[in-house]
Amino acid sequence: MAKLKIHPLPMAKGKLPRQAVTYMVLVSEMVDHYIYCWYIEGASKRILVDTGMSGEAFAQRGHAGEESILSPFDALKKIGTSPEEIDIVIPTHLHADHIGYAHLYKNAKFIVQKAELEWAYNPHPIFKRTFRGRDKLLKGVNFQIVEGDTQIVEGVRVLHTPGHTPGGQSVMVDTEKGKAIICGMCTIRENFEPPEEFRQYAPVIAPGIHIDLRDAFASLIRIKEEADIVISLHDAEFAEVDTIG
């Protein structure tokens, strides 16, 4: 079995209403929000999960208070590579904060679920605002379309985990410490480890933003059951972590 490592690379930080990540839980609170990309070390190809987005660009989309931490160039330089050298990008989904720097990865194939790409170009009116600027964000991106769970390279597999979006995909990585899964939905640790007062009702909390609440709940259950290490996409805990696995 491959023994890979994951490097969290924080791109930006700010705060979001809790209800954006935890459905109907303490909705009036604000929570720390980080935008990451994730570099997989040791695979046969140079693989990045998500591209992230600058804090300024995210703020321009209505999320006041976001600020940048690292540029993609500085983030990848820390681990000895650059955007031009990335072979594969796996966007967990096509919301802007996960694909905002796509234009920098000119030599990479972008692995995307068929359902996700179709949704990005033809979203329900409720979600059109989420995909504003889509044509500019996705212009020139070299998409490789998959359907369902798919092996990418040895030790790296995508799992179709819908609910947050139709074609959301989580990324399972074989590490020395077990199977790490980068969650394909906008989540924090509490989605997988609810406070005690909520745990009596359910083992997970669905994401606040979703197209199908029941699918999102089922996908979180699947991730929790199959992962030895769960990586929630926006949790502040990974901002100070160099390596996972």
For residue range 205-225, list pLDDT tens digits in order.
Answer: 999 999 999 999 999 999 999
- The pLDDT > 70 percentage for the chain reads 98
pTM, entire model: 0.96
Residue at 78: amino acid letter: K
* 128-181 pLDDT, tens digit each: 888 888 898 999 999 999 999 999 999 999 999 999 999 999 999 999 999 999
Lateral strand order in the sheet of 5-17: 67-68, 5-17, 30-41, 47-49, 88-90, 109-113, 143-146
Contact 189, 237 (CB under 8 A): yes
The answer to the question of residue 244 being in a domain is no
E strands in 108-234: 109-113, 143-146, 150-153, 156-160, 169-175, 178-182, 229-231
**Residue 37 confidence (pLDDT):** 98
Residue at 61: amino acid letter: R
Enter the tokens of residue 41: 């070390």
The answer to the question of residue 245 being in a domain is no
The answer to the question of residue 233 being in a domain is yes
The answer to the question of residue 196 being in a domain is yes
The answer to the question of residue 219 being in a domain is yes
The answer to the question of residue 243 being in a domain is no
Tally the domains of the chain.
Answer: 1
The answer to the question of residue 69 being in a domain is yes
Averaged pLDDT, 7-18: 93
The CATH number of the domain holding residue 169 is: 3.60.15.10
* 74-114 pLDDT, tens digit each: 999 999 999 999 999 999 999 999 999 999 999 999 999 99
The answer to the question of residue 52 being in a domain is yes
Round the average pLDDT of the chain to a whole number and report it.
94
Q: Is 87 helix (H, G, I), strand (E, B) or coil?
A: coil
**Residue 65 confidence (pLDDT):** 67
Residue 106 lies in domain: 5-238
Contact 88, 45 (CB under 8 A): yes
